[in-house]
Chains A and B, each alone.
Chain A
């Protein structure tokens, strides 16, 4: 135990190899030990004090960090649910919830309380054990993802050297929970929903992973903090602008991640107009709330990952200045992507299941492979990220967008004439 403590306390403590919180860890440990030695120990009987484990302070700090983590992140979905309702209301010329609290800001809280008190119905013919387990699997996995996301230089729970790999791995466990929920409910709608979800998530993992691979090829690391660190030279060093291929990869990543979190236009697993509510049809009360919270936590998580990988993470727009940088910048960028997701959701209709697969296997995966090829060639031509390579990349992106816009103008002119009658 004392070795362990020495390791934590030593100045050479290597953050990247540990699982422990990084929020002013050293200060926290010292403070906790001082607190125990100066406050707790004198008050204890001497017989106990001499044997009192001082390391308990370290453990307590870890628990406190975990408590903050567990306590703070579930609040995020509460905010996001309200935000979604308000944003959708704005898109539809409505006001959204207005009754609970000023401007309805406490609505989600009220809903949560309501869900807590609702009957917890378990289908008697279903698989009881799996039915109870499924929401926790989904909930745990969606929050475990947050452990590897660097919110700022100092706010990250753990900096693995395989951070992005860990995120990919953990987030694909969610599909297990979905299948469990669908199977154990003993409902045909649930089963349909969960199988749709399984097919969808497994398929969209591939373009997602391939897009991440382009980033990994450029950064030559799986560590999230190193990925962020490589984007520290302002907006044009962000990986999205680094090569034209990452620009495409960003969109593939973003759309695939919308599919991963089951949102419109890819919300087939819970398509309300087709299969009622999909895999969580039979859930009620707090178990349903867990699904709901997990869904919104996921939504934020994928946005945060997209920001980390492509949009500079917590790095600012300009190299020297802290514009859109740090923790607030990171959150603003992530919420921007969340808003984009909401915007898409309240605009688009839903795909059919075969079209969903078409989109993935016929469009995203080939383009993602093309991206990898392109990124590799780009890496051969420009081994180092220089001003020249960035300028060329940005020029190509600009020209591409302009060309697309011009073609749009032409297609607009060639719009189909009104139907003759």
Chain B
């Protein structure tokens, strides 16, 4: 079905592109976070590695320094003693009296006693230092001579003597005497300074007696601990080859000049007399010529302090330190460290001192076996796997020294201090950070997947809805088109949206509607149009009828007004009844009835003439005119003689009437009384024109003679009178503004000048003729123009 396939394509294309975009952006975000974590981890690792190395470097430097100081201190103490001893040897002859005296003085005198059981001679425990002379340094006594120094003590002397007591060899005795002063120096040196087990002097190979401080039953200990020593020369027994090693320096002036540089260390070993682990420092002494070995000073430095210090070094969680000789023999390490490094202790054997042996290259750990000790002064860092765990190993060499490790070789040696720390402890912080990064990036991954799926779902839902709606509109449209094709023009499609489809639907409907009109509704259209015309026609007819009615009504009103106006005008007979005056009146209403008024009334005292102009047009103006006429007639009948009073009363009546009827009109009004050749003028209106018989024209302004009527109830104060004597033949013209303001087609007023001129020209005519001439002149002026206002004039001519 085309509909579903279109919709499916639409949804598929849009869905795939949205999904691809989301997956790409999500993937990018995840990769970004991963790499961020990796970078951060790498940075942290670098930082930690640097920081921990720095820490280890400093720490191991401190430890090495501390250990070196311990050894240095012992060396300098020994060197001090060595310098004193060497001085005694070098200046033996000069110091002879002192040496002899010292040897006899009670604190330093050595009383040796022969021990037949051990076959050695040794002094008693009441002396500060032990002096022991080995059996091979004794000689049989001369029968005739009794050596006081070799004579047995009292108790022992009483015993039966199976053998005669041996005596110390003369040269040995002399050497003992010469070294008696050492008893003065050894005790303070022993008491202060480095922690040492003992200090001693052993003579040269030809008389290796021992002077040993503090006092100890030395010979007895050695008999027990080192059997056979009394038969072999001391150096050969205990330190075979060492003297030969020293003797190689003879002739080396640089070496011989530096006593401190001659100090030689043995390997660490256990003290045979039970003093614990020690290392012996030897200071060789020489004869004055420096070509013969003159014995050596020994200094047994206790290693317990050093070893304890090393064993107690704490590094991170379970890190440890060790101290080794440069041959890899570890002599200071705690038990846990020993186990970690896979070391085992071998029983020392063979040589005179019990050197314990714990070699790295005999470790059970293959990595330890091949561990390379450093060659320079700088610390070395190694990563070594121990027991399946990565360890960081730091190694630092101590200061160099002379070493004797057996044989006839004195060589330079250095101890090595080592630190061993499990890498995971150093990088514990890193491991934690990496775990956190991994956890958070996993969380991000989960969120990302969730957001992607949710967004995809929402977008697809929206797409399906939109697609359904879109295709629905299209389907509706195509169905509509199909029906059009089948000539069904009644079809319309719903306009549901405001988009292009909606617009298309609208246009479609419009087109269908137009087609419908053109094909099916032509006849109806014609019918409708004609019906409209009929309606319009009917309406026009009705309107026409109404207009006719209206015109009739208007015409009726006009007729009434006109008739009123004419009705009140004086009849010709009335005018002719006036004997002294020839009077002619004229009034022509404009298209609409105006409000002009004139009257000529014969009163009991005088002839009353009136001319006025009511504002406005129409019936109301006509009625007002009627009112004025009625008022004038009534007042005339009431015989009001005073013209001012007369006019004032007219005004008052009109005011009252206008107020009562609500008619909004006023008028200008002039009243004239004629009697005996005098015209009395009152009230404001147009100018009165008098044309004297000789042709002189007088214009009488009426502005100051009154004011408009019907506005103000009391105007008497404003009314003035003007007496105008008239001679026979004088012509007086009264008129309304309809004459002066009559316009020609150009809008030009007829004007008062033309009026005056016209009157002047016809002053000799009768009133009627003059009136006709005037009207003709005005009409000529108007010409084709329109009569805008009523035209009224009254012409008087005194004839008697």
Chain A partners chain B: no
Interface residues in chain B, defined as those with a beta carbon under 8 Å from any beta carbon in chain A:
none
